Amino acid sequence: MARAHELTVARRPTRQIRVGSVPVGGGAPVSVQSMTTTKTADVEGTLSQIYALAAAGADIVRCTCNEEAAAEGLARIIPRSPVPVIADVHFHHEMALAALEAGVQGLRLNPGNLRKPEEIKQVAAEAKDRGVPIRIGVNAGSLHPDLYTRFGGATPEALVESARMELATFAEVGFDDVKISVKASSVPLMIAAYRLASETFDYPLHLGVTEAGPPPGGLIKGTAGIATLLAEGIGDTIRYSLTADPVEEARAGRQLLEALGLRERKGLDLIACPSCGRAEIDVIDVAARAQKALEDRNLPIQVAVMGCVVNGPGEAREADLGIAAGRRRGHLFIRGKIVRVVPEADMVDELVAEAERLVAEGVDARLAAADAGAEAEAAADRADLLAAKGADANASEVTVARIRRKFGDDTDEAVAPTQA
């Protein structure tokens, strides 16, 4: 139902890999990843979190593999997981080999923490035999000391060089089933590193601002870095790294891709005006109640909550469904067309009920079911509110007329006050 618009910037062409059933790169949809916070040995607890992440929008989930019990847990988790599982490995190549034996669909190796070439080649050779891709997960906080010295710190060039060195080691055993990340907790460094990586490699890139911290700051930093690069056509899979329930990571990633038009809408997108002196309701309260009522229903529509009927339906005409307040009543509208006028006290309930009918029956059917007198009632409410509060709105049209005369438009065509 949602009418997502494609991001106009062309995506950077990359080779494609597959993480289980999920294609990454090569024009595939940008995928969302998150990581479990449970002990991987806790099979039921980890599976519960994986299912919650998948429901929130994660396409791929990463689990730590740091001990034998974790590898055994993976062997029991993978056959029951709803999405592909990647094993996160640091320091011990034996854990990577055990994870491959457990059946993981991908590995993440940090070249700053797994440094012996022979061990890296052993893992790459085994991954090649099993058809399992590896993410070269470079992190500004764990670069090899030699690279710090050579480049004078964790620079974009140092991060990209770390990935290049790992690729060279993989090449010795003929392995190139790879995606790359060059993460940093500094947003400017992260952006610069990924831009350089996109110029250097044709492998798919996994985007993220590492150690972004708790929301809201962590969400802001993650969005600043990830969205900037996606808008430039860079990036094939993403993860928000938040100090929070990982479900928030998956939800944020999905919402970001939907907001950019890079993925089809699967869940609710609630928009609301910031409120102003014309607002006839407590917009914050109504929006919060509507969000709570609608979110769990997982309806793939955009819903608008607007504070007044003067401009609300017009400003939110692109929304699938919305409601605007005026004269103690709510104007319920679909794609900008008023379909019903309801008592103010029933606004949220009516909005939820109409949302469910809209998803079940479709836009055309719900427009056809509009109350016959709804438009006339709405027009009367708008006229009354314009008379009472719309002096500024009416006066602005006089200013518009003066501007037009300055540009040589001498017509006396009347300019109507703002209408919904």
Domain boundaries, the chain: 17-259, 269-385
What is the predicted pLDDT for the residue at 16?
98
Residue with tokens 């070269």: 136
Residue 301, both tokens: 């529509």
Q: Which residues pair with 340 in a beta bridge?
A: 332
- Region 262-271 average pLDDT: 86
CA distances from 200 to 159, 163, 179, 194 (A): 12, 10, 13, 10
- Per-residue pLDDT tens digits for 123-174: 999 999 999 999 999 999 889 999 999 999 999 999 999 999 999 999 999 9
- Region 58-74 average pLDDT: 97
- Region 379-397 average pLDDT: 65
What is the predicted pLDDT for the residue at 262?
94
Per residue, what are the HEC states of 179-209? Answer: EEEEEECCHHHHHHHHHHHHHHCCCCEEECE
d(CA 186, CA 198): 18
What is the predicted pLDDT for the residue at 280?
62
Are 73 and 43 contacting, i.e. CB atoms less than 8 angstroms apart? yes
What is the predicted pLDDT for the residue at 396?
61
- Per-residue pLDDT tens digits for 218-233: 999 999 999 999 999 9
Dihedral sign for Cα atoms in the order 395, 396, 399, 404 = negative
pLDDT over 90 percentage in the chain: 67
Predicted confidence (pLDDT) at residue 2 exceeds the cutoff of 50: no
What is the predicted pLDDT for the residue at 54?
96
What is the predicted pLDDT for the residue at 178?
98
Distance of CA 262 to the CA centre of its chain: 9
Asked: is 269-385 a CATH 3.40.30.10 domain? The reply is: no
d(CA 139, CA 112): 8
What is the predicted pLDDT for the residue at 418?
43
What is the predicted pLDDT for the residue at 1?
52
Instruction: Check for a shared fold between 17-259 and 269-385.
Output: no
- State in words which class domain 17-259 has: alpha beta
Predicted confidence (pLDDT) at residue 239 exceeds the cutoff of 80: yes
- Per-residue pLDDT tens digits for 186-216: 999 999 999 999 999 999 999 999 999 999 9
d(CA 164, CA 180): 10
The band of 298, judged by pLDDT with boundaries at 50, 70 and 90, is: confident
Q: pTM of the predicted model, to two decimals?
A: 0.81
* Higher per-residue pLDDT: 279 or 165: 165
pLDDT over 70 percentage in the chain: 89
What is the predicted pLDDT for the residue at 388?
64
Are 253 and 58 contacting, i.e. CB atoms less than 8 angstroms apart? yes
Predicted confidence (pLDDT) at residue 410 exceeds the cutoff of 60: no
| DSSP SS3 for 239 | coil
Residue with tokens 């309930």: 349
